[in-house]
Amino acid sequence: MDTKLHVGRPNLGDRDSFLRRVNEALDSRWLTNNGPFTREFENAISDMIGVRHVVAMCNATVALEIASRALGFTGEVIVPSYTFVATAHALQWQGITPVFADIDPLTHNIDPKRIEELITPRTTGILGVHVWGRPCDTEAIESIARRHNLPVMYDAAHAFACSHEGRMIGAFGSCEIFSFHGTKFINSFEGGAVTTDNDELAEKMRLMRNFGFSGFDNVIHLGVNGKMNEICAAMGLTNLEAIEEIVSVNRRNYESYRSGLEGLPGISLIAYDPSQRNNYQYVVIEIEPDQSRHNRDEVIAALHEKDVIARKYFWPGCHRMEPYRASQPEAWRNLPETERIAARLIVLPTGQSVDEKAIGWICKLIADLVR
């Protein structure tokens, strides 16, 4: 058994409830293709977010690809480089060029002020990412989009059960995409979903995730296999039932880190807006290189040596990963904040498998490294 303290250790709901559902799926011999657990999962999310349509998918990357196509993205789409590489890959996989915009260093989200200067006649959309579950500046982004008649989509892989201005994430833009990967706040092993209030868009995505089938033998659209299976939906439903418990564990852990790291030279912990709903899925610190005895990479290496598998998300930024590094070798010139943040950031382990004692010990390790 791996006893290391990993970022991304899955949160688990009630095991018996999950196994009961698995047995039910096996007994009913309905394993996939829009089965009853998948529909129940979609309905539960739709009620929670207050959005008309939830289209569950096999993972968020395929959901991003399907949603991009359904929205008619082609040519160029403006996107942050400071994100998990799946956001950019989902575009490039379809021959769409991700045009990387810099981030706001305070929020780590796409900086609306950098969007307009990147719009060209080839631009067909804007793809924002709610990094760490902290919402993008949706008002500014959507007002630019309206001015240029561009659709906006959000990668909300980190932002399940978070809100912005009193409205749940999932209800912004033309559509939003969630991930239910094993490492995410609520997981379905692998899984994703698109949320939208647009009936036509939802219908198109339902066709696209099932080869374009509309009833037996009737293919009316180009499609792929983007379906969620029943075991994944059973896991998603089970974990949804544990949502309050998982938030409260994450919140407790976040507060423990906050008090353990308080006053350490060069260390700042990112904040969440207490007036909004947050999932506290990510505990993220920034290290100010001039103030800390060891730099970020040295701190990470020392933590790994002690079996604390902290991560450098999203270093070095998509623009420094292939194929973008080769196809857009000058992109870094426009991305100073992305480069600066990516070089100073550490994500620390949290979730159900991390307790307050472990956090006290991790904070002590960090204190010894930075002082």
Which residue number, 63 or 369, has a Cβ lying nearer to ligand T4K? Answer: 63
Which residue number, 240 or 264, has a Cβ lying nearer to ligand T4K? Answer: 240
C-alpha to C-alpha distance for 84 and 157, rounded to whole angstroms? 10
Is the bond preceding 323 in cis, omega lying within 30 degrees of 0? yes
Contact positions vs ligand T4K (CB under 6 A): 6-10, 59-61, 83-84, 86-87, 129, 155, 157-158, 179, 181-183, 192, 309, 313
Q: CA angle, corner 293, sides to 105 and 282, nearest 5?
A: 40
C-alpha to C-alpha distance for 54 and 268, rounded to whole angstroms? 36
Closest approach, Cβ 216 to ligand T4K, in A, equals: 30
Closest CA to 226 of 34, 39, 37: 34
Closest approach, Cβ 103 to ligand T4K, in A, equals: 13
Which residue number, 42 or 155, has a Cβ lying nearer to ligand T4K? Answer: 155
Closest approach, Cβ 303 to ligand T4K, in A, equals: 12
Closest approach, Cβ 20 to ligand T4K, in A, equals: 22
Closest approach, Cβ 136 to ligand T4K, in A, equals: 12
| Pairing outcome for strands 53-57 and 192-196 | antiparallel
Which residue number, 179 or 292, has a Cβ lying nearer to ligand T4K? Answer: 179
Which residue number, 173 or 266, has a Cβ lying nearer to ligand T4K? Answer: 173
Residue nearest to ligand T4K (CB): 8
Both tokens of 95, joined, read: 């021959």
Closest approach, Cβ 317 to ligand T4K, in A, equals: 13
C-alpha to C-alpha distance for 237 and 32, rounded to whole angstroms? 15
Which residue number, 205 or 264, has a Cβ lying nearer to ligand T4K? Answer: 205
C-alpha to C-alpha distance for 209 and 204, rounded to whole angstroms? 9
Which residue number, 7 or 299, has a Cβ lying nearer to ligand T4K? Answer: 7
Burial of 88 (0-12, 13-18, 19+ CB in 10 A): buried
Closest approach, Cβ 240 to ligand T4K, in A, equals: 16
- 158 touches 131 (CB < 8 A): yes
Beta strands in the chain (DSSP E): 5-6, 53-57, 76-80, 97-101, 123-129, 152-155, 163-164, 167-168, 175-179, 192-196, 267-269, 283-287, 308-309, 345-348
